[in-house]
Amino acid sequence: MAQFPPPIRNPEVKFTKLFINNEFVDSVSGKTFPTINPTNGQKICDVSEGDKADIDKAVESAKAAFKLGSPWRRMDASKRGALLYKVAQLMERDAQYLGSLETLDNGKPYMNAFGEMMFSANMLKYYAGSADKVGGKTIPVDGDYMCYTRHEPVGICGAVIPWNYPVCMFALKLAPALACGNVIIFKPAEQTPCCVAGSRTFVHEKIYDKFVAKSRELAQQRTCGDPYEMTTKNGPQVDKEQYSKILELIDAGKKEGARVECGGEAAGGDGFFIKPTVFSGVQDNMRIAKEEIFGPVQQIFKFSSLDEVIERANATHYGLGAAIFTSNIDTAMMFVQGVRAGTVWVNCYNPPCYQAPFGGFKMSGLGREMGEYNLSQYQEIKTVMIKIPQKNS
């Protein structure tokens, strides 16, 4: 913990307006909305609420920036990279403040929030180095032609940013888009916790009871409380709506016959805290098995064979991440090939890695983020064919 600077418990809120055309402005309508501290349910401040008129303004400024011959279009790729690198340095400089501000806004434990800032800075550096390395290919084609491809920016991009990792997601959308030469417009989405939380846990029948007992023990040891405390593992849910949804699903699990090993209720107090909850005896047809809870709830299923668990793991509309823990390499490789998920971890779970692509199968999103694969989403491929004159015989 020594590597983490202490949190700022009351970080100053410096900006509450919309950022359009390189300046902070009020919304056209003048509307605002309150942002709530999930730790105590109190208002932090009022933030400008953008709507269609504000998006139109942002699009017009983006069009001007992207116009052929504009300073942005003519900027050297290496200079775009240098700008991204400068943003990364500023983020590192202010990581303590930014992490503290995120903890205030969404209740994420400060250690996690500070880590997100440093991860985001490293991601920006990664794409800063990619800015002048976006190149096409020369392609041998039939006939007297030279053929090559140009990777050109798509243009104006709209990005929906979830609030679970707001700074990380901002960097994830901003960096590759600017590295490829786009201009980019952001829209926040509803607030959600970790999208790859390992809530559906399949355990072999031979070790099931032992695993459930250990999970219960570890969940009971998790500290749920003040997110600014370094020992806190679970902060509050991000808002009242999510808090109520999680409690409603917990109640559904109880009614449908799953066993509550620990937790299963609100933690009390003024904030949106829920006790870390473990369910055993979960069946595939239960709501807690089929719906995304997005909360501190673990569902433990029992299985008996590899073929069975792959089939059951795939029986969902989602497919973002999956993991297997085994000492048998054949079992691991069969699982890797069989499970329908965008990322599969073997003997680990969700290690931070911005160099590798991230995305899901089925309803867990389109395309891939992070790594080289992310760049392709912001590029159009232009094929150029040039007639080559030949010497007269």
pLDDT at 166: 80
What is the rounded CA–CA span in Å between residue 311 and residue 293? 21
Residues forming a β-bridge with 25: 18
Percent of the chain's residues with pLDDT above 90: 82
d(Cα 343, Cα 157) in Å, to the nearest integer? 26
Question: Which among 152, 162, 161 has a CA at the least distance from the CA of 182?
Answer: 152
Residues facing residue 278 across a β-bridge: 262, 298
Q: CB 256: neighbour CB atoms within 10 A? A: 15
Question: What is the architecture, at CATH level 2, of domain 200-319?
Answer: 3-Layer(aba) Sandwich (3.40)
Residue 302 has pLDDT above 80, yes or no: yes
Of 89-93, 194-198, 253-257, which range is least confident?
Answer: 194-198
Measured on CA atoms in the order 112, 115, 121, 122, is the torsion positive or negative?
Answer: negative
Q: What is the pLDDT of residue 3?
A: 75
* pLDDT score of 379: 94
Helix (H, G, I), strand (E, B) or coil at 287: helix
How does residue 181 score in pLDDT terms, banded at 50, 70 and 90? Answer: confident
**pLDDT for residue 372:** 92
Domains 18-192+373-379 and 200-319 share a fold: no
Question: What integer best gives the mean pLDDT of the chain?
Answer: 92
Separation between Cα atoms, residue 225 and residue 230, nearest integer Å: 11
Tell me the residue type at 294: F
- Residues 210, 205: Cα–Cα separation, whole Å: 10
Q: If you average pLDDT over residues 367-381, what whole number do you get?
A: 92
Pair 134, 203: CB distance under 8 Å: no
Quote the pLDDT of residue 1.
Answer: 45
Answer whether residue 141 shows pLDDT above 90: yes
Domain boundaries, given as residue ranges, for the chain? 18-192+373-379, 200-319
Instruction: Give pairs for 258-265: CB < 8 Å, separation 24+.
Output: 258/282, 258/283, 258/286, 258/288, 258/299, 261/212, 261/215, 261/216, 261/219, 262/216, 262/219, 262/220, 263/219, 263/296, 263/297
pLDDT tens track for 274-291: 999 999 999 999 999 999
Of 99-108, 151-160, 260-269, minimum mean pLDDT range:
151-160
What pLDDT, on a 0 to 100 scale, did the predictor assign at position 304?
A: 95
| pLDDT tens-digit readout, 314-361 | 999 989 999 999 999 999 999 999 999 999 999 999 998 999 999 999
> What whole-number distance in Å separates Cα of residue 279 and Cα of residue 300?
6
Find the distance separating the first CA and the last CA of the chain, reported in whole Å: 78
How far apart are the C-alpha atoms of 335 and 343, rounded to whole Å? 12
Angle at 363 between CA 361 and CA 365, to 5 degrees: 70
User: Rounded mean pLDDT of 281-302?
Assistant: 94
Say what the pLDDT of residue 28 is: 97
Residue 171 has pLDDT above 90, yes or no: no
Task: Report the pLDDT averaged over residues 294-301.
Answer: 94
Among the residue ranges 60-74, 163-177, 197-211, 301-315, the one predicted with the least confidence is: 163-177
pLDDT > 60? residue 303:
yes
Q: Which CATH number does 18-192+373-379 carry?
A: 3.40.605.10
DSSP state letter for 266: B
Give the whole-number percent of the chain exceeding pLDDT 70: 97
pTM: 0.91
Spatial separation of the C-alpha atoms in residues 246 and 266, rounded to whole Å: 10
Residue count (the chain): 393
What pLDDT score was predicted for residue 191? 53
Q: For 88-104, what is the mean pLDDT?
A: 97
Q: Give the other-Cβ count within 10 Å of 274's Cβ.
A: 22
Instruction: Report pLDDT for 267.
Output: 94
Mean pLDDT on 185-214: 81
Would you say 369 and 321 are in contact if contact means Cβ atoms under 8 Å apart?
A: no
Whole-number pLDDT of residue 111: 94
Q: Are 237 and 193 in contact (CB under 8 A)?
A: yes
CB 128 within 8 A of CB 175: yes
Closest to 80 measured CA to CA, from 185, 152, 177, 186 = 177
Report the DSSP beta bridge partners of residue 56.
none
Predicted confidence band of residue 259 (pLDDT cuts 50, 70, 90):
very high
Higher pLDDT, 158 or 38: 38
Instruction: Report the pLDDT averaged over residues 381-387.
Output: 97
Burial 13-51 (b: 16+ CB within 10 A, else e): eeeeebebeeeeeebbeeeeeebbbbbeeeebeebbebe
